[in-house]
Structure 1
Amino acid sequence: MRNSILKALFSFAILVGAAYPSEAFSSQPFGESYGFSSEDLGGSSYLGVDTRDISADRLSALKLKEEHGVEVTLVDQDAPAGKAGIKEHDVILTLNGTQVESVEQLRRMIREIPSGRTVALGISRDGQPMTIKAQLADRKNAFFAGPKVKPFVAQVIPPMPVMPDIDMPMSIVVVHSSTRSGLMVE
């Protein structure tokens, strides 16, 4: 009897999965979470900041006139950015004279510069422009001292979707015999 109930529940779960494909439950993540893998990045230089793109609603809070650059949301004080004096809510406008338009562009530019090189960062702090110089560090040496330890790629897990109401008539018949057992769903 217990096996029959388990089989019926299992079959019901399979039917629900077939009736509602996984695309129906997919959702966009609320935010992005970035981890780093040297294979994904292509280079090993790093600055030591978390950033986000500038949006129109942040312009007045950051005292900016134009919607370009990236806002620093977190600074690793032991990394090149912290040692150079970059602060949270600074806006990186340029890197070595090249205008920064997005987080992805800044990451690409930093990856392409060899570690150990000094870069000039044009920033805006409370609406005041300034230039800060920082020496890029090697990500592998700074974060992962152990041999063959690789960084991970962070996963964003979307919230569990609401289970849909299922209004379909269904009858389940569990059949047992000495030679076979099965489940028939009508």
Structure 2
Amino acid sequence: MKHLFTTLICLCSVFTTLPSVAQTAYDITEDQPAQLNGIEYGFAIRNESKKEVGKDTFSRYELSIYVTNKSGCTKLFFPRQTPFGLQNQDQLAQFDCLNATGARLTSKSSTVRARPFSVPYSTTSKNAEGKTVTNTIQVQAGHMLTNGETVSDNIIVIVPSGEQPRMKVRVQMQELAER
């Protein structure tokens, strides 16, 4: 009975914390990016060609995936503890090509990440002579996406011949502070 109670408590704690690390997925096309809280998630086709893989012909696409802040303010992402630690705190979105084959060492997905920001932190201490010394260091406080900033990545995908890349973006649900 004691093990059953402990197991139930553990399961309840896991299921109550899972929504805090949930991701929301959106289908996107080249001319229909996803918009969420003033941030645009999209992709653009930079180049298209045909590629022979074995006996089959495939379409090869060079894509630029991007996240653009169009909210009118800077978005700050602060670290928060999850059941899995402080992993991927800088991840803005995961882009997946649903019909990509992954052939010839090409991608099926890619991640776009925010850049870190730091704040000054000052401490006072006494040195060997007994004098008070102030030391200031930069401490990483989180990650940011300034207004108008675009963060992008380039990937190459191979899809079946005659098909366009079918893209989905998974947006990391994070606590945002607007400035």
Tell me which interval the TM-score lies in, with the shorter structure as reference length.
Answer: under 0.3
Comparing both structures, which one devotes a greater share of its residues to helix?
1
Tell me the TM-score normalized by structure 2: 0.22
Q: Structure with the greater relative contact order (CA < 8 A, sep ≥ 6): 1 or 2?
A: 2
Comparing both structures, which one devotes a greater share of its residues to strand?
2
Which protein is bigger by CA-based radius of gyration? 1
